[in-house]
Amino acid sequence: MLSDPTAMLVTVAATCLLAKCRHAIPTLLAIFFATACFLNSPFYDGVEPTERLFGFGASAICLAMLMKLANAKTLFDRVYETVQPNIEDIPGFGWSAYADGRLRFLNPKALNYVGVTAAEMSAISKIDNHSWWSKFVHPEDRDGCIDRWDHSLRTGEPIFEEQRVRRHDGTYRWMRDAAIASRDENGHIVAWFGTTVDIDDQRKAEAALLDSQTQLQQMIDTVPALIWCATAEGQPSYINTPLRIWTGIPLESTKPGDSAQFAKAIMATIHPEDRAIWKQSLEQALNSGQAFALRYRQRRHDGVYRWIDGKAEALRGHDGSIIQWYGVCLDINDQVEATEAVRKSENELRLLIDTVPSLIWLMTPEGMPYYFNKRFVDWSGLSVASALLDGDKLKMVEFIHPEDRVAVDSAIKQTIAAGKPFSHKGRLRRKDGQYRWMQSRIEPLLNEDGEIIRWYGVNLDIDDEVRAQEALRRSDERLARALRAASLSELSVSIAHELNQPLQALVANSHAFKRWLDAVPPNLDRANRTAEWIVRDADAAAQVVSRIRALFGKAVFPKHKVDVNALITDLRDLITDRLIAQAVKIEIDLDPHVPATSADRVQLEQVLLNLIRNASEAMQEKTIERQLVTISSRVRGEMIEIEVRDRGTGIIDPDKIFEPFFTTKQDGMGMGLAICHSIIEAHQGQLRAETLPGGGAAVTFSLPIRPIEANDSGNPDPWPERVAASA
């Protein structure tokens, strides 16, 4: 280095770089001078110093020029200097201003936009100060713009601002200004250069986006639902206003920045007993990515825990990864409490139904049994499972007494078809196998449209009562028979007594008559007189018989208005139970045109009862599959006809049955039909009996259609004098 100054070239190059090329020549000269002094110094022990100095100087100058060229003229600079750009090609509005803000230049695009010519703009800028542009700015933005422009002019800070600028057609559009100050080497501002870009469409799009975001936010915060969001990792990120108010979680705890505190605040609202399961379910959902669903209790702002139906779903990106969790909490406390109340009342009702001393059961609208209360199950021994599972009809039928099955089945079918309540007395089998009399009643439950929803059935065990009644009836019958027998003996004694005298006289006179004729010679005169006595005695006997007959025929006949059809119906209702007990069914077939007539209602009842009893008894003697008594009414000319038909043995001796004391029954008296005959004759009607071709008998009586007297009330005398009460 000390022997050869060539290395000093490095110092020259570095100096050129540092001093920029503007000062390269003076710097180089200074270096040249310094090097000359150095080389001529006594320390430098070189040969031919002038040559070396010359060589070094030439090298340093070449290097300095090369560095200048490299520093001052880049390739780009050279291209740019040679190609003159057209100012029209510059996108956006360009402008420049003097250091004090007065307009220096405005590009044609900007002039076109505001709708003024270059000359007009020049005039505007001359008469105006630096706020020459303010007349094109929206009034609302004007003051702010001037302030900022003033500030930049004072401080030299760049301008970045947005404002609405009026277009030539009077509409305002959003523009963004960016301007910087150009300074001289001393740092003084020499000019301002700026561009203005139309950002109106962008602003509108941003405003629309902001609007929709605001609306969405408002909706989320207004909708009456408790909504929350969590990150993919399960950290709470947002709860909507209703949820925040509902839980009473303070706003500062819901800041997404501090998710740990947020999570803690939420966890604090979960019921302590439900926290573990809540956490576990949430973690499970987070791990599996499957929906979260849980019912749990959460504390409301007032400290009351309420049942919540919590649900959450994951929002996934295109690649299927979870971006966010969205959840909703539904306050179902009222519903849960209502369900609980219903369940409780159902339990109470069930307890009541199972405790009430009746057998209760339910059927579908189609008549399929599907529920039996506990009493029913206990009483019948019916397995609840088998009964409830398929409502096995066969099993149900097994409970009904074989003799009642057909009747019950058809009655239930009719009831279900008609949709009307049904009442029935029949025998059902208890679990010990004993058939017991039950009073059954079924009623439909209708909805508001009148459609049957289900049938309610109640069975009451009335077996003891029925048996007591039956025993009473039997003892009644025994008593009646005894009374009849007693009356009959009385009647017999009386008849015997009445007939005894004339018959004894008849016998005595007959013997006398024979003696008078056997006498030799026959005493014809006395025989003739005796024959007259015989005739007299026979007449007396006949009169006794006539009187007895007259006793039956002499019906007291109080007249009342009788509606024959109503009488038959009442009677049917009265005796149905008794007949069912004998496994006999009764049916009526009434002609609705049968008019009312004047008759003794009690006597007619007596006749009908007698005929029905005979019909029923006729069927007891024969094994008949369906024991049926049919009572029908009809009009035949001037008469009403009432027929009692049965499926029994038929009339064995039709000529004799109306005679008193004719009977084919072991304990019969043979007086019933005789009395009926008397009663019907007394009403000027007729009684007849016939055997039906297909088996069975039909006993028919007729009554004349009598005009109703004005004083006929239709109410029978409660204590009419009975004809042949002894029967």
Query: Which residues of this chain interact with ligand ADP, rule CB under 6 A?
Result: 610, 614-615, 618, 646, 648-652, 657, 662-665, 668-674, 697, 699
We find the least distance from the C-beta atom of residue 727 to ligand ADP, in angstroms, to be 9
Report the C-alpha gap between 552 and 659 in whole angstroms. Answer: 12
Residue 329 to residue 293: CA distance in whole angstroms: 10
Residue whose CB is less far from ligand ADP, 173 or 578: 578
Minimum CB–partner distance for residue 371 and ligand ADP (Å): 46
Which lies closer to ligand ADP via its Cβ, residue 67 or residue 724?
724
Estimate the share of the chain in helix, then strand, then coil, as percent rounded to the nearest 5.
50, 20, 30
Distance CA 243, CA 266 (A): 10
Residue 671 Cβ, how far from ligand ADP at the closest point, in Å? 6
What is the smallest separation between the CB atom of 449 and ligand ADP, expressed in angstroms?
Answer: 50
Instruction: Select 285 or 697, whichever has its Cβ closest to ligand ADP.
Output: 697
Q: How many CB atoms lie within 10 A of CB 615?
A: 26
The three-class DSSP label of residue 419 is coil
Which residue lies nearer to ligand ADP by CB, 294 or 588? 588
Judged by CB, which is closer to ligand ADP: 364, or 487? Answer: 487
- Alpha-carbon distance of 369 to 386, in angstroms, equals 11
Instruction: Compare residues 598 and 610 and give the one whose CB is closer to ligand ADP.
Output: 610
- The end-to-end CA distance of the chain, in Å, is 173
Largest Cα–Cα distance in the chain?
Answer: 238
Query: Least separation, in Å, of the C-beta of 604 and ligand ADP?
Result: 16
R_g over Cα of the chain: 65
**Tokens 């600028």, residue?**
165
Instruction: Name which of 103 and 644 has its Cβ closer to ligand ADP.
Output: 644
**Residue with smaller CB distance to ligand ADP, 148 or 578:** 578
Shortest spacing between CB 481 and ligand ADP, in angstroms: 10
Strand boundaries in 613-694, DSSP class E: 628-636, 639-645, 687-691
Task: Name which of 534 and 697 has its Cβ closer to ligand ADP.
Answer: 697
Residue 603 or 610 having the CB closest to ligand ADP: 610
Encoding tokens for residue 451? 């459609």
- Nearer residue to ligand ADP within complex by CB, 486 or 535: 486
Q: Which residues pair with 163 in a beta bridge?
A: 175
> Between 522 and 668, whose beta carbon lies closer to ligand ADP?
668
Q: Give dist(CA 466, CA 580) in Å, integer.
A: 12
Coil, strand or helix: which one is 375? helix
Q: With respect to ligand ADP, which residue has the nearer C-beta, 176 or 484?
A: 484
Shortest Å distance, C-beta 684 to ligand ADP: 21
Q: What is the 3-state secondary structure (H, E, C) of 242-278?
A: HHHHHHCCCHHHHCCCCHHHHHHHHHHHECCCCHHHH
**Which are the contacts of 706, defined by CB distance < 8 A and separation ≥ 6?**
559, 597, 598, 599
For ligand ADP, the closer of residues 15 and 606 by Cβ is 606
Rounded CA separation 202/185 (Å): 39
Backbone phi, then psi, for 37, in 5-degree steps? -60, -40
Sheet holding 236-239, edge to edge: 236-239, 226-231, 322-331, 305-316, 292-299
C-alpha to C-alpha distance for 696 and 718, rounded to whole angstroms: 35
CB of 533 to ligand ADP, least distance (A): 37
Q: How far is CA 353 from the centre of its chain?
A: 24
Rounded least distance, CB 404 to ligand ADP, Å: 24
Strands 687-691 and 697-704: antiparallel
Going by C-alpha positions, the residue among 193, 200, 199, 195 that lies closest to residue 92 is 195
Closest approach of Cβ 501 to ligand ADP, in Å?
A: 29
Q: Which residues, 6+ apart, have CB-to-CB distance to 121 below 8 Å?
A: 103, 106, 111, 114
Smallest distance, ligand ADP to C-beta of residue 670, A: 4
457 vs 369: CA distance, rounded Å: 9
* Min separation Cβ 646 and ligand ADP, Å: 5
CB of 590 to ligand ADP, least distance (A): 20
Residue matched to tokens 């029923």: 616
Toward ligand ADP, which CB reaches closer, 249 or 698? 698
| Least distance between ligand ADP and beta carbon 651 (Å) | 5
Distant-in-sequence, close-in-space partners of 327: CB < 8 Å, separation ≥ 6? 227, 228, 229, 230, 292, 310, 311, 312, 313
**What one-letter code names the amino acid at 263?**
A
**Amino acid letter for position 12:** V
Reference 426, options 416, 435, 414; nearest CA is: 435
Q: For residue 509, which phi and psi values (nearest 5 degrees)?
A: -65, -35
Q: Pull the structure tokens for residue 541.
A: 């006997």
Torsions phi, psi for 672 (to 5 deg): -55, -55
DSSP state of 132: G
CB of 578 to ligand ADP, least distance (A): 16
| Smallest separation (angstroms) from ligand ADP to the CB of 486 | 16
- The least distance separating ligand ADP from the CB of residue 594, rounded to whole angstroms, comes to 22
Identity of the residue, 206 or 476, whose beta carbon is nearer to ligand ADP in the bound complex: 476
| Closer residue to ligand ADP (CB): 285 or 657 | 657
Nearest to 100 by CA among 57, 149, 53: 149
125 backbone dihedrals φ, ψ, rounded to 5°: -70, -25
The token pair at 182 is: 């150009």
